[in-house]
Structure 1
């Protein structure tokens, strides 16, 4: 990362990729504040240099939303993930596999916020779209269907005491 900063500049796309990798390493280590600081830097620079709807910017938004989610900062995660989903839908289309990943990420944010009905509704939409786009046997479709089934069962039984 430091070499790329020196050779290419702090705002070069390859440098931003390296910074993103370091942030990902910090995430894996549970170093959330350090990850967040780098992810904010990558997202802001990507937005300025590449545009708000560039695939690299969209990825950086999802990464920052994930860090917020892992910190339990649900409101911030929701705002960022909803914006990322909206931009993905506009840039790539609602049926694009990356848009569907973004949709499922928002589902998990809503679930974490306790918005179970909203999460189930969006998860159903995601599941339907994944079946149409990827097919019933695709691992992402299977995972979504499995999660949907488990959450429905959980909702029917109520919280475990």
Structure 2
């Protein structure tokens, strides 16, 4: 459901659902399991899509650091978070936020 909302541009609803999923996973599984980090990555992406750049960068930075520590810097998920984070930081500088 989260992905359907996200792909249809229903950002606010997607954000709320991704946040609920992430918080539930953090509470049940902890912050480090890959499933929790997937939720974190997805929430950060939705925040970015909604124009909440600083929050998105902060959350993706945390996600990247955790993935790097847990999965290693060569894992595809870690690379994905680093790519998004790097791109967003460049975009934020260019748009002046």
TM-score by length of 2: 0.92
**What is the alpha-carbon distance in structure 2 between the residues aligned to residue 32 and residue 57 of structure 1?**
20
**What is the alpha-carbon distance in structure 2 between the residues aligned to residue 36 and residue 70 of structure 1?**
10
Does residue 1:71 correspond to 2:71, yes or no? no
Equivalent residue, structure 2, for 1:104: 83
Equivalent residue, structure 2, for 1:43: 22
**What is the alpha-carbon distance in structure 1 between the residues aligned to residue 39 and residue 25 of structure 2?**
8
**What is the alpha-carbon distance in structure 2 between the residues aligned to residue 34 and residue 108 of structure 1?**
25
4+ long deviations beyond 4 Å: none
- Deviation, structure 1 residue 111: 2.2
Does residue 1:55 correspond to 2:34, yes or no? yes
Does residue 1:82 correspond to 2:61, yes or no? yes
Contact kept, 8 Å, 1:85 with 1:103, in 2: the verdict is yes
RCO comparison, higher one (Cα < 8 Å, 6+): 2
- 1:79-124, CA deviations, whole angstroms, 9 ceiling, x for partnerless residues? 1000000000110111222111110010122122126xxxxxxxxx
Equivalent residue, structure 2, for 1:95: 74
User: 1:91 is paired with a residue of what secondary structure?
Assistant: helix
User: 2:9 is paired with a residue of what secondary structure?
Assistant: coil
**What is the alpha-carbon distance in structure 1 between the residues aligned to residue 12 and residue 69 of structure 2?**
31
